[in-house]
Amino acid sequence: MSTLEIKDLHVSVATDDGAKEILKGVDLTVRTGETHAIMGPNGSGKSTLAYAVAGHPKYEITSGSVTLDGQDILEMTVDERARAGLFLAMQYPVEVPGVSMSNFLRSAATAVRGEAPKLRTWVKEVKGAMSDLDIASDFAERSVNEGFSGGEKKRHEVLQLALLKPKFAVLDETDSGLDVDALRVVSEGVNRYRAGGETGVLLITHYTRILQHITPDRVHVFAGGRVVESGGPELADELEKNGYVRFTGGKAEAA
Ligand code: ADP
Ligand code: MG
Ligand code: MG
């Protein structure tokens, strides 16, 4: 079993008016075999948490720690984080003209596995994973993320998950930009990935709809840059009914 542990994480972002503290002491522990949902209003800092763990240079860790089985993730380069078994969708380039998806995925797999996958088995692997996710076969020849719709980007994320098999995946708003059918296919992909029980998932979302397809073990409410309440799946049902008002002092959006 592996453990991803976030302890009292404080993160600032550089703005025109100087550094602004966004994360104000996040505590969270995820073990392999568990799926945790982080739910919170817009602007509460959910994506900032994902970016900070991914090592995005714009986000400065001012205190606290993130460790994977005791190893300091924050000291690692983005590639080292991937090799350690961490998957963060946004650590990958947004658009890479001229690099085909199949080449991109093979380099990513090479980086994670430490050796290039054999070409013949790799092609089979990619084809199988694409067909599981209802991804058209010409997708492999397209440039990375170039002209991808919101739904295609999300399918691409889950395709990477299926092929790279990380220990921990941080998925930010995986439900956004997906119609009902795509949401089902993408959710099935995430469920397949976690079915083996050897992976941990941190599912970040504003809405409860993806949680009707992916049942979390734990639900954390995120507001004002920290986890303000944790519970089981029933907490998501309460949020579905009452929204976040109880956690934001009556305001619809958190400051
Ligand atoms: P969420 O994902 O929960 O909607 P974010 O993490 O995107 O929240 O944003 C939290 C707060 O941090 C917001 O007030 C947002 O304006 C601010 N913020 C996030 N990233 C940046 C950035 N790169 N530059 C300036 N402000 C930012
Ligand atoms: Mg603190
Ligand atoms: Mg966000």
pLDDT in tens, 157-214: 889 889 988 999 999 888 877 888 888 988 999 999 998 889 999 999 988 889 999 9
| pLDDT over threshold 80, residue 89 | no
Identify each DSSP E strand in 96-146 by its residue range: 96-100, 143-144
The residue contributing the CA closest to ligand 1 atom 15 is 43
The residue contributing the CA closest to ligand 1 atom 11 is 43
Give residue 64 CA to ligand 2 midpoint distance, Å: 8
Q: So what's the ipTM on this one?
A: 0.94
- Give the number of the atom of ligand 1 that is nearest the alpha carbon of residue 204: 2
Residue 255 pLDDT grade (very low, low, confident, very high; cuts 50, 70, 90): very low
Pocket test of ligand 1: the residue of 9, 13, 51, 227 to mutate, having most ligand atoms within 8 Å of its CB, is 13
Does 10 or 252 have the greater pLDDT score? 10
Pocket test of ligand 1: the residue of 48, 222, 253 to mutate, having most ligand atoms within 8 Å of its CB, is 48
Q: Is the pTM of this model over 0.80?
A: yes
Q: Which contacts of 89-95 are long-range, i.e. CB under 8 A and separated by 24 or more positions? A: 89/50, 89/157, 89/160, 89/170, 89/171, 89/172, 90/50, 90/51, 90/54, 90/56, 90/172, 91/54, 91/55, 91/56, 92/144, 92/160, 93/144, 93/145, 94/145, 95/143, 95/144, 95/145, 95/146
Q: What is the mean pLDDT of the chain?
A: 89
Architecture of the CATH domain 3-247:
3-Layer(aba) Sandwich (3.40)
Residue 104 pLDDT grade (very low, low, confident, very high; cuts 50, 70, 90): confident
Could you state, in order of their start, the residue ranges of all structural domains in the chain? 3-247
Helices and strands in the chain, H and E counts = 7, 12
Residue 254 pLDDT grade (very low, low, confident, very high; cuts 50, 70, 90): very low
Beta bridge partners of 19: 14
State which residues have CB under 5 angstroms from ligand 3, the bound ion. Answer: 46-47
Q: What percent of the chain has pLDDT over 90?
A: 54
Does 58 or 94 have the greater pLDDT score? 58
Q: Nearest ligand to the C-alpha of residue 42?
A: 1
Question: What are the residues whose beta carbons fall under 8 Å from the beta carbon of 212, sequence distance 6 or more?
Answer: none
